[in-house]
Amino acid sequence: MANNSNRRNFLRGVTLAGFASLAGCSSILEDSDSEPATPGTGTDDGGSRPTSTSIDTFEDLSNWSVQEGKLRTTSEGEAFEGSQSIVLEPEDGANQPVAKISRSFGSEPLDLSNRDLSIVAKVTEPEDVRIRAEVIAPARSSMLTAVRYVPLELDDWVRFDLGYTEQTGEPVMNTVSAINLQIGPMTEGASFSVSFDDLRSYPKAKRGAVMIQFDDGHRSAYEEAFGILQELDMSASVAVIPDAVGASDRVTESMMTEMANAGWNMIGHASELLPEHSPEEQKQILERTQQYLRSKGHNAGANHFVAPYSRVDASALTHIAELFTTGYLFGASPNNAAQPSNPAFLSRVQGRSIEGTKQAIDMAEAQNQLAVISYHEIGGDAVSAADLREIIEYIDSKDVDVIKPTQLASRISR
């Protein structure tokens, strides 16, 4: 029964409405259908930025216990840093393909009252995989859960925030007694393993934040969403595909200018699936997107990018980190709202589900984290204008900041 219970809990954690909606982009054009400098891991070398604090380097595993699946260590040459990293795998032939380990803090509880968690992970057999962390504070009846989706092709080390997606009871965050790490596939029967290293904490923001993004430059961002947000004095960002601007269902340059003059960000997007291109071609695609925005006067927004279909490989993520201040893709969880541990790998949640979107906003408010809510087309068979208005009014009722990528960038650069 333990296996079935853990499996149910895991699936429940990764399929929360809104948080777990699969990300993608609609058809683009009418005629076409002191940390290591590892790519995409994020660093602490940002001048006056607050430094992170190490929680576990996985060199000593005496405080870890295996709850499900298998735990092994890598060789030094395979490790993220130090002499070893750890690898989690399901048991061979297991009916429930999950693995779970627990780190106990014994008589000295961990204080996360003003800190957010971040970890480095590597999916060594690229599949659709979700990573779940449970922060026990101080018992399972009082805990926070974080869930993060790792993109299909990303088979290199990547650092990311463990943004909280669910709360049980009333956690007391200065009495964290254990942290559990769990992995599981999105598809039954998938073969996978996940390596972990360098669990850290980062300073928590003093207030939660919400960011709203509209992908693909659909005309509905201007015709439907713009007015709704203007009524409540909110701004958002539009992820623009340069080749699609001016198409019958896409924003025009004059619409982009009007929204930008009202305080919105016009940010980069692309029609090509980046992992299908060579590293050189990926860089050219990203540079062309950035150059287009700059040529049209959207210089600030040109420093921010949304990954097409939320798919990146290691080289794409490296280029995004080099060219842009922030990068966004589906991750199913919030982020650190003050100093994200990896600004090139920021997690978004889909706005299609009203219930799930409200839950993401609630968690961002309660835990002072950043929820990035993404939409595609507004109206038709997609999210209705009425549903969008309900979410915007809900955000307005919450004690959160509504920020844009350029405002997050100012926090990162402090």
Q: What is the percent of the chain where pLDDT is above 90?
A: 78
Whether 208-412 and 2-21+37-203 are alike in CATH topology: the answer is no
Q: Whole-model pTM?
A: 0.89
For residue 11, what pLDDT band results from cuts at 50, 70 and 90?
very low
Average pLDDT over residues 22-31: 37
pLDDT of the residue at 40: 53
Model confidence pLDDT, tens digit, residues 286-321: 999 999 999 999 999 999 999 999 999 999 999 999
Model confidence pLDDT, tens digit, residues 29-70: 333 333 333 445 544 433 344 589 999 999 999 999 999 999
**Pairwise CA distance, residues 107 & 126, whole Å:** 38
Model confidence pLDDT, tens digit, residues 197-225: 999 999 999 999 999 999 999 999 999 99
Nearest 5 degrees, angle CA 60-CA 62-CA 65?
120
Superfamily name and number for 208-412 = Glycoside hydrolase/deacetylase (3.20.20.370)
pLDDT of the residue at 189: 61
The CATH number given to 2-21+37-203 is 2.60.120.260
State the average pLDDT for the chain. 88
60-67's contacts with Cβ under 8 Å and 24+ in sequence apart are 61/86, 63/103, 63/104, 63/105, 63/106, 64/101, 64/102, 64/103, 64/104, 65/101, 65/102, 65/104, 66/99, 66/100, 66/101, 67/6, 67/100, 67/101, 67/102, 67/180, 67/182
3-state secondary structure the chain: CHHHHHHHHHHHHHCCCCCCCCCCCCCCECCECCCCCCCCCCCCCCCCCCCCEEEECCCCCCCEEEEECEEEECCHHHCCCCCCCEEEECCCCCCCCCEEEEEECCCCCECCCCEEEEEEEEECCCCCEEEEEEEECCCCCCEEEEEEEECCCCCCCEEEECCEEEEECCCCCCCECEEEEEEEECCCCCCCCEEEEEEEEEECCCCEEEEEEEHHHECHHHHHHHHHHHHCCCCCEEEECHHHCCCCCECCHHHHHHHHHCCCEEEECCCCCHHHCCHHHHHHHHHHHHHHHHHCCCCCHHHEEECHHHCCCHHHHHHHHHHCCEEEEECCCCEECCCCCCHHHEEEEECCCHHHHHHHHHHHHHHCEEEEEEECCECCCCECHHHHHHHHHHHHHCCEEECCHHHHHHHHCC
pLDDT at 97 over 90: no
pLDDT at 377 over 80: yes
For residue 188, what pLDDT band results from cuts at 50, 70 and 90?
low
Query: Closest Cα partner for 94 from 200, 185, 205?
Result: 185
More confident residue, 186 or 34: 186
Where in the chain are the domains?
2-21+37-203, 208-412
pLDDT of the residue at 140: 96
